[in-house]
A and B are shown apart, each in its own frame.
Chain A
Amino acid sequence: MKILTCPMNGPRNIDEFQSFGPVRAEPDPDRTADADWSRHLFRAENRKGIVVEWWRHVPSNYFFLAERDLVTNEVLRTFDASERWAHP
């Protein structure tokens, strides 16, 4: 079983985590055509390479981000979401 390092709880077995998929661009719902909105909802890119993903540490309900190489399944780093989204 893979080990994932949670920024808050440290290295843990990956069965303590839940994947919430890659971080996606958030189109402005008011300025997006119907077809583009559908694509946003239902089409996943799944390109080879490094993606930034949402992960949840289930026991602590903590959401964080991970950079993962989809080819080698290597997790390059994990970090708190505040690094990407500042407080408004």
Chain B
Amino acid sequence: MNRLAEPWGNRIDRTRSVRFTFEGRNFEGFAGDSIASALAASGQWVLSRSFKYHRPRGILSMTGADANTLVQLPFEPNVAADRTPISEGLSVSAQNVNGTLERDRDAIMDRLGRFLPVGFYYRTFMGPRRDSWLKFWEPMIRRKAGLGVVDTTAPRRHFDKTHLHCDILVVGAGPAGLNAAIAAAEAGADVVLCDENPEIGGSLTYGRHDPALLADLSSKLEALPNLRLLTGTVCNGWYEDNWLPLIQGNRLFRTRARAVILATGSIEQPAIFRNNDLPGIMLGGAAQRLIRHYAVRPGQMAVVLATGDEGYGVALDLVEAGVSVALVADPRSGGEPGLFEAELHGKGVAIRKAATIEAAEGTAGNRHLARVRVGGRWIACDLLAVSAGEVPAWQLPCQAGAKVGYDAAVGTMTLSLPPSPVHLAGSVAADGHLQDAMADGRRAAAAALSRLGHAVAEDRILPRPAVAGPIHVLPIVPHQKGRDFVDFDEDLQVKDLQNAVKEGYREIELVKRFTTVGMGPSQGRHSALATSRIVAEATNRTVAEVGVTTARPPVGPETLGVLAGHHEPLERRTALHARHLALNAMMKPVGAWWRPYFYGDAGAAEKMIRDEITTVRQGVGLLDVSTLGKLELRGPDAGEFLDRLYTMAHANQPVGRVRYCLMLNEMGSVVDDGVAYRMADDRFYVTATTGAVARVYADMLFWNAQWRLRVDVLNLSGAFSGLNVTGPKARAVLEALDSDIDFGREAFPYLSGREGVAAGVPVRVMRIGFTGELSYELHCPSSLAPALWDAVTIAGEPHGLKPYGLEASRILRLEKGHILIGQDTDAITTPDELGFGWAVSKKKPFFVGKRSIEMRARLGQSRQLVGLRFPADARDLPGESCLVLRGNHPVGQVTSIGFSPTLGCTIGLAYVHKDDAVEGRLVTVKCRNGNLVEVPVVGHAFFDPANARQEM
């Protein structure tokens, strides 16, 4: 066991044991342990196999930011073992393994590596056939190289989204962030402080610091009610105007902050030498986290690489945790020793200056570190703690507009932000000692408060004094045999990057795309600086000139569930929904609406629909048309407004009359139709198609923002409902209603409208018809629609009135040859192609689309929408969208098709060549099965072409 005694282990609860399995073997840890720490405590260091070469990998950073520790949970792939806590009975397995983690058959890839250089895939897996990549190579490579497995049978989890507003959001609760948040909250600001770790403190929880510091900050924080703390919360991006996603477990906080302080800290960098990826080689911070957070001894015999004083602190921690430290290697040749270095001198640990790690070697199969070479001498050890410098956590700052620079003297990246409501604090802004970071947090708070209008003393927001940071130039020691990894996620070595430059990819963005460096789960956190340096050297440029690749959101991986939130599809129901259900309607979603498809026996759909059609043709039917768009236009210019918007004349439309209206866009294409009922000189009631009303309503106000006509537009689509009573007996039904409207033939002629009361319900009634039968459309306030429906149903009972659904309605209109905008029209349909010349005013000086249809008429018309009547015994029938051919060339397509019980055959609408739009002409249609059928054109409505029935 590698478990240390108390007081080590500030995250674990030694009184509670937790059992779990890894790769089928039983393990035990303490509550608070991460998967990786519990395994390390039991001596299990190998956690995964690498992406390409299947090399054993173990703990690197203990921050959940590298691919080494990604494991598979039963229902979740790619889980960071060094951040995810263990739970009782948890079953954990390794990913990307062929065989077992210990004996991975694909480990042979490590020896074949030299045959698999960067770019190999692009060149090799192209043939022999055009689809070889998709059919053969890609599936094979995916099996060999990859990450976890998605279990599509995983149970549903609950995700939700919520909004969060604050004055100041502080990201990162380390020394700088804590001081910033406390200072801002003490000044009275509404502050949110978030941190991805389960507790506050950042480096105060694992570094060599006075524990009293954190205790003091913690008690200050708790005393501030206007400071909200979100631990275990990742800030995954910065978007314009300080809009930030904070992810806490399965919850997404969509956060808007007036000011943001980014105290995201810095990221320790691995050194580069041969076999720098062996389990047992970890960052100094990882060793300290294992010791202080989890009381896990990271090794028995250690070597420490220290490029600054922090590394000596790591060595001191190791000594105190009972690890033998064989050597501290320091690439710096001299200079003043830091505080930790001075302290270490008294501990009898060998220190070697001007020396670095030149190479490492592993035990059998590279399963663990065995020895490292320093100054040509091999030193046996099972732990190498690498403390070789840091880069600022640049992702969030760069998204917020920070520019990346390079400080050649210190050998690290720097960040600078222009004045904005985003501030940097702590080591993300500049390296320094603990006291510098804490002071910088308070300075950032003062700057943010000042920007928000708080009175702040000027000397508190002065730029931070330059601190001579510890000198650390990241050691890069390439090896001619490679395995000197730059990017652990993608198994990329120094020569891979050098070769990419040789291939001509000089720009960092191109190097990234060619080699995939920085594209893995760690997103360049541990490779960006080294990559820039290698490319700079290979292209004789400075690191600042080469730069780093663009950092885009998200900062870390996020589950699709978090993005989706909880599943609540938007749907609309008409006021008559309950009536339809009571009548045993088969409901179907049509856009956002639920509509009755037909009523009655769901197992006999065809018969039910035919019966409904027959009822309308021979008796009387009732249809819920509430989904129609309903707009009311009021004002002295209402007629003029409609004249400009629609193709027909409306300004001269008499009060009490209903007119068809057809809308074009500026290109002259048909975009909507409906009817306009003039209720008064200054008042029109206009319908629009269900799917287009939102756009029509917007367009009306858009045009009038420019025309400035005196007209108001009111969208009544939801407030009003509509009932269509249609069939030869419709008049008899309505006359049986208690109403002040005279429904008589002379008193209420076709294409007119009346207002009144029917069955106690205020109604506006229009005599129009989609079905071709005698029809009345009754519109009323939605709250009264069920009452009106009931009254019509009762009045209709003696006449055999029955409700009918959408499918019957569709066939009824097809029999009559009526078009559906959007189904029988497309983006370029003109009124002429529909044979709607009658609906386009020749007298009006202007309407939207007029100029364009005149121009298009001059260009010539190529197609025409016509009816097609298929023989009753037709064996092959086309479907909607099937092509109409003319001499083997497509000239149009079938737009609607259905069986007409009234005519006893299948009928349809289709675009045919203009010259074929002749009654009786045979056109060729290609069916879905590939067969061609010849069909005669019908140049008029299939049913009642003389329109006798609707006007009776």
Contact = CB atoms under 8 A, between A and B. Distances in A.
A29 B850 contact: yes
Nearest to B850: A29
B693 to A, nearest CB: 12
Interface in B630-673: 666-667
Contacts of B707: 85, 88
Nearest to A27: B851
Interface in B659-710: 666-667, 697-698, 701-702, 705-710
Contact of B698 (A18, A26, A88): A18
B243 interface: yes
A56 interface: yes
Contacts of B850: 29
Interface residues of A, number: 27
Given A37-B851, A61-B715, A87-B708, A56 B240 contact: no
A29 B243 contact: no
B823 to A, nearest CB: 25
Nearest to B668: A41
A60 to B, nearest CB: 10
B702 A29 contact: no
Interface centre among A18, A38, A41, A87 (most CB of B within 10 A): A41
Contact of A41 (B666, B698, B845): B666
A24 B846 CA distance: 19
A42 B422 CA distance: 41
Contact of B241 (A3, A29, A61, A82): A3
B242 to A, nearest CB: 9
A2 B851 CA distance: 38
A25 interface: no
Contacts of B149: none
A34 interface: yes
B713 to A, nearest CB: 8
Contacts of A86: 708
Nearest to A56: B698
Contacts of A1: 239-241, 243
A37 B240 CA distance: 38
Interface string B728-767: 0000000000000000000000000000000000000000
| Interface residue range, chain B | 20 to 34
B666 A2 contact: no
Contacts of A64: 705
Contact of A81 (B243, B705, B710): B705
Contact of A85 (B698, B708, B715): B708
A2 B243 CA distance: 8
Contacts of B715: 61
Given A29-B851, A41-B666, A63 B705 contact: yes
Contact of B852 (A41, A61, A62, A63): A41
Interface in B901-932: none
Given A1-B240, A1-B243, A2-B240, A61 B701 contact: yes
Given A29-B851, A87-B708, A41 B702 contact: no
Contacts of B342: none
Contacts of B858: 34
A13 B165 CA distance: 13
Contacts of A81: 705-706
Nearest to B710: A87
Contact of A54 (B241, B702, B851): B702
B702 A56 contact: yes
A62 B261 CA distance: 36
B855 interface: yes
A61 B697 contact: yes
A30 B697 CA distance: 27
B701 A62 contact: yes
B709 A88 contact: yes
Contact of A88 (B240, B667, B702, B708): B708
A88 to B, nearest CB: 6
B708 A82 contact: yes
B852 A37 contact: yes
Contacts of B846: 29
22 contacts: A1-B239, A1-B240, A1-B243, A2-B239, A2-B243, A3-B241, A13-B243, A18-B698, A20-B702, A29-B850, A30-B845, A38-B855, A54-B705, A56-B698, A56-B701, A61-B715, A63-B705, A81-B706, A82-B708, A85-B706, A85-B708, A87-B708
Interface of B: 239-241, 243, 666-667, 697-698, 701-702, 705-710, 715, 845-846, 850-852, 855, 858
Interface of A: 1-3, 13, 18, 20, 26, 29-30, 32, 34, 37-38, 41, 54, 56, 61-64, 73, 81-82, 85-88
Given A13-B243, A56-B702, 16 more contacts: A1-B240, A1-B241, A1-B243, A2-B240, A2-B243, A26-B706, A30-B851, A32-B851, A38-B855, A61-B715, A81-B706, A82-B708, A85-B708, A86-B708, A87-B708, A88-B707
